[in-house]
Amino acid sequence: MISEKDFIFNQNTAIINEGSFQWSAPSNIALVKYWGKKEHQIPANPSISFTLNHCKTITKLGFTKKSDSSNFSFDLLFEGKPKEDFKPKIQKFFERIEVYCPYLKNYHFTIDTQNTFPHSSGIASSASGMAALAMNIMSLEKELNPAMTNDFFYQKASLLARLGSGSACRSIKGNIVVWGNHKEINGSSDLFGVEFPSEVHANFNNYQDTILLVDKGEKQVSSTVGHDLMHNHPFAEQRFSQAHHNLSTIKRVLENGNLDEFIQIVESEALTLHAMMMTSMPYFILMKPNTLAIINKIWKFRNETRIPVCFTLDAGANVHILYPENVRVETLQFIKDELVGYCQNGQYICDEIGFGAQKL
C-alpha cells in the first residue's frame, strides 16, 4: 500500500532556474461530509463529492531560483493586487508540505490568484485555491523530475492540496471523488482523493448545482475549529460509522440511479453536519433563517411536483440545490420565482458537475 514516504521528493534529475505555470481548480460539494479530523489532515471518516465546473480558482505560479535556501520566499497577489492577509496561510501550507517538496526553499515564488466566483460570497475558496496551488507546485516538480508518472502527479497534487485544506484534495479530479479509506471503494485512501471507481448512472450526467448565496458574511466559526470540536464530541463515533454506511449506500445509488435514495442520503448528511455543530461544546449554528426557509420551500416544491430536487449545505448558510439536468428548466424557474428573495442581493450561481483541475 502507498504510504506518506512514497511522496517524498528525492529525484532531482533536472535543473530549472525559472518559469511559470498556470492552473485552474474547481470547488467541490460533498454528498457525504467530512467533519472531524486526526493529525496531519487525516479525515475521521471517508467523504464523497461532486467536483464543480464554474466555481474555480485560477492561479499562476512564477518562480526564480535563489541562492539562499534558508527560508520560504513568495509574493502573493489576489486579483492582481498584493494581499498580505493571505500570506500566513500560504506560509503554513509551505511548512506543512516542505517534507514532501524540499525544493521549495530554492525558489522565490510569485503566486497570482483569482476566483471566478464573487469575493466573500461565502463560497469557500480554500478548496479550489489550495488545489490550484498544489497543481502548480506539481508542475514545477514534474520539471525537476520528468520521469514522474501521470498517476503519481495527480495523487501527490491531491495529497499536497489535502495538507492545505482537507476537502481541497477532492478538487484535483472530477467528476466524483472519494477521500478517506472505505472498504468498498477500491484504492481509496486517507492521504488523497480518488476518482469514484464505478460506472455512474446516466441520471447523474451533468448533475446541476445552483448555489444560493444566503449569507456572505464571515463565518463565526471556522471549519478548523469545527473539525476540532469533533474530538470528545458525544456523537462522534456514531457519526463516523454513519458516514461509512452512507458512503456504502450512495455508492450503490450512484451506480443504480435511484434519485429518491440519493435525496435521502444527501439531505440527511447536510442536516447531520449541522447537527454535529449544534451539539458540540461550545455549540454553534451556521444556518440562517433564510437557509431554513429555502429548505422548506424545496420540500414543498418536491412534494407537489415530484421533481427530484434536493439541497445540501457546507459549513455555512448558503444552500446548494442539486438536481438532474433534465429538470433544469422547471427547477430554475422555481428558484427564480420562489427562492431568489431569500438570497443576499438576489445572488445565486449556476454550476454543475465538472472534471477537475486544468492546465491553462
Using CB under 6 A as the binding rule, the residues of this chain from 177 to 196 that contact ligand PMV are none
3-state secondary structure of 55: strand
Residue in 23, 16, 20, 19 with CA at minimum distance from that of residue 106: 16
Residue in 80, 73, 158, 157 with CA at minimum distance from that of residue 113: 80
Q: If you search the block for the grid coordinates 489532515, which residue do you land on?
A: 41
Q: How far apart are CA 241 and CA 32, in angstroms?
A: 12
- Exactly one of 215, 269, 314, 351 binds ligand PMV (CB under 6 A); that residue is 314
Q: Which stretch binds ligand PMV (CB under 6 A): 32-40, 111-119, 233-241, 338-346?
A: 32-40
Min dist CB 200 to ligand PMV, Å, is 19
The CA-based angle 125-296-208, given to 5 degrees, is 45
The answer to whether residue 47 forms part of the interface with ligand PMV (CB under 6 A) is yes
Residue in 196, 139, 193 with CA at minimum distance from that of residue 163: 193
Min dist CB 179 to ligand PMV, Å, is 8
Fill in the per-residue mask, 96 to 125: x = in contact with ligand PMV (CB under 6 A), - = not in contact: ----------------------------x-
Min dist CB 140 to ligand PMV, Å, is 24
Fill in the per-residue mask, 11 to 30: x = in contact with ligand PMV (CB under 6 A), - = not in contact: -------------------x
The answer to whether residue 167 forms part of the interface with ligand PMV (CB under 6 A) is yes
Q: How far apart are CA 147 and CA 96, in angstroms?
A: 25
The partner residues of 23 in beta bridges, in order of sequence, read 59, 359
- DSSP letters, 233-290, are -TTHHHHHHHHHHHHHHHHHHHHH--HHHHHHHHHHHHHHHHHHHHTSSS------HH
* 127 or 263: CB nearest ligand PMV: 127
Q: Which stretch binds ligand PMV (CB under 6 A): 112-120, 161-169, 264-272, 348-356?
A: 161-169
The answer to whether residue 165 forms part of the interface with ligand PMV (CB under 6 A) is yes
Q: How far apart are CA 180 and CA 192, in angstroms?
A: 7
Q: Which stretch binds ligand PMV (CB under 6 A): 102-110, 140-148, 164-172, 240-248?
A: 164-172
- DSSP letters, 96-124, are HHTTT-GGGGGEEEEEEEEESSPTTSS--
Q: If you search the block for the grid coordinates 458525544, which residue do you land on?
A: 234
Min dist CB 326 to ligand PMV, Å, is 27
Phi, psi (5° rounding) for residue 236? -55, -50
The answer to whether residue 126 forms part of the interface with ligand PMV (CB under 6 A) is yes
* 171 or 210: CB nearest ligand PMV: 171
Min dist CB 324 to ligand PMV, Å, is 22
**Which residues, other chains included, contact 101 with Cβ-Cβ below 8 Å and sequence gap of 6+?**
9, 137, 141, 160
Min dist CB 220 to ligand PMV, Å, is 15
Q: Which stretch binds ligand PMV (CB under 6 A): 103-111, 165-173, 256-264, 350-358?
A: 165-173
* 128 or 208: CB nearest ligand PMV: 128
- Exactly one of 46, 166, 193, 356 binds ligand PMV (CB under 6 A); that residue is 166
The answer to whether residue 223 forms part of the interface with ligand PMV (CB under 6 A) is yes
The answer to whether residue 33 forms part of the interface with ligand PMV (CB under 6 A) is yes
Contact set with ligand PMV (CB under 6 A) = 30, 33-35, 47, 124, 126, 165-167, 223, 227, 273, 314-315
